[in-house]
Structures are given as C-alpha cells and as structure tokens.
Amino acid sequence: MSKFSFAFSPCPNDTFMFEAIVNKRIDLKGYEFDIHLDDVAQLNQASAKTQYDISKISYNAFTLVTDHYQLLKSGSALGHNCGPLLIAKEKLTVKDLRNCKVAIPGVNTTANLLLSLAFPEITQKQEYIFSEVENALVRGDVDLGLIIHENRFTYQERGLVKIQDLGEYWESMTKCPIPLGGISIRRSLPQEVKEDIETILSESIQFAFDNKEVVQPYISCHAQEMDENVMQSHIDLYVNQQSIILDASAKQGIVRLVDEIKGLYPSRSIKHPIFV
C-alpha cells in the first residue's frame, strides 16, 4: 500500500472538495493519504521545499517548482468572477496608487501576480496571512488590501471599498477563466499513480456535489468563525465543473498565466509538460 502526504487549505472550497478522501467515502485505490492543512501561502513555501507529495499551490508559485511537480487536472480553484479584490478605505485614483502600501496574502500567490500585472506601479508590498489583510487595512498599517477567499464577501461590512476586481481585469485581458490555485503532485511519481490520484480527486469532488449534507460537518469544523451563508458562497464561487476536471478553456487560461509569469520573471525556467 502506498501512502502520500496531501496538503490543502482549511478554506471551505478545499475541505468541501477533499472531505471524501479524508473520511474515505470513495474508492482510494489502495492508497493512503497523510492529510495536512495550512494557509495557501504556507503551502507555497512548503512546495518550494518539496515537503509534500500532493499539495494545493498558487499557480504563480507553481512556476517556481516545475522541476519537482506537475499539475493535476482536478482540484483547481478556477473560474469566472472569482478573482482577488484590491480594496481600500476610500475610493482612490490610479494616480494615487503609486505611493500606496498594500497588504498582500503572500508574495508567490496568484493574487500578487495579478496585482503586478494590473498595477505595476504598486511596489510597496507587505505580506500577511490572508485573513489579516482586512485588519491591517482597517488599522491603517497599509493603504490598500489584496483580499482572497471569503473576505470578498465581508469587506463591505467593515466600510471598505473595492478599487479593482483583479479577476475582471484578467478576464477582460485574456478572455480566459481566472486560474487561482491548483493541486500539484511530485513529477517523479509513476504516471499511472499520478493518473490514479487525479481520478481520486475528481471522484471526491463529485461526491461532495452529490452529498453536500454529508461533507458539511468537516467543512464547518475548519470554518468555525464563518457564517454559513459566507461558507456556502465561498464554495459556490471557487468549486465548479472545472474543479472536477479542467476543460480546454481552463487549461488555456493556465498556460496563458504561465506565459505572463515568464514575461514578468524571465529567469524562471518552466519544465514541461506542466500537466500530468
């Protein structure tokens, strides 16, 4: 029996997708999974150290580890109208942004990459855990906040305003869905094993769609301070048919993102194929 370390975030989209693996509700094909949960920025750092066999990863961070990892076509957070938001305490003009300090949820997150593409003039960046970005903005530690995950549903309650939806920026520029994060797997594993894992992830996500009430307790126990409506909105936004298996348009969007990254960081060497 083969055992693999599998790391993903405690956010509702990931716990929804992978509950059936954690609790062995589907055929795991004889494999065992050692589960680790952490913030995506921490998972990106762990991937740089090749810490896990299978891991959630920002697509931006993935381009730093292609020597060691490939992307599975199941388990992605990718779609339309689901991108990160740049927010502030009050409306600001593009001219105002040049001298602003912004809180970001990790330097290698896809959110930060999109910020660099949309607003290259913003260079004063400070890293925070994603859940602390709003607090840093409210306290006045920074002038702007780059929010991801469930914060996009709650920022207005704190009197904050949207400067730019970076997902809308990406979609208007590329006509492709916005690729946020995916699941990486060790490149060195046998191809049949990688394909088995991809199938397991796909079946886990389908199980969640078909049995929402069954997977709910696991989601809730990792999102204890989150309103149920926010939790469901989070899942609805980030989990879709593209999460089950990427189609041609989704893969095109990921390839386009990789090309944009290579343009910004020419020194990054991307090993192909990037997909299993």
By annotation, the residues acting in catalysis are: 149
Measuring CA to CA, which residue among 174, 96, 93, 162 is closest to residue 134?
162
Based on C-alpha coordinates, what's the Rg of the chain?
A: 18
Peptide bond before 190: cis, by omega within 30 degrees of 0? no
| DSSP secondary structure of 151-220 | GGGTGGGGT-EEEEEHHHHHHHHHSSPEEEEEEEEETTS-HHHHHHHHHHHHHHHHHHHH-HHHHHHHHH
The answer to whether residues 198 and 70 touch, using CB atoms and an 8 Å cutoff, is no
| DSSP secondary structure of 105-120 | S-TTSHHHHHHHHH-T
- Using the structure block, give the residue that is written with the tokens 């208007």: 172
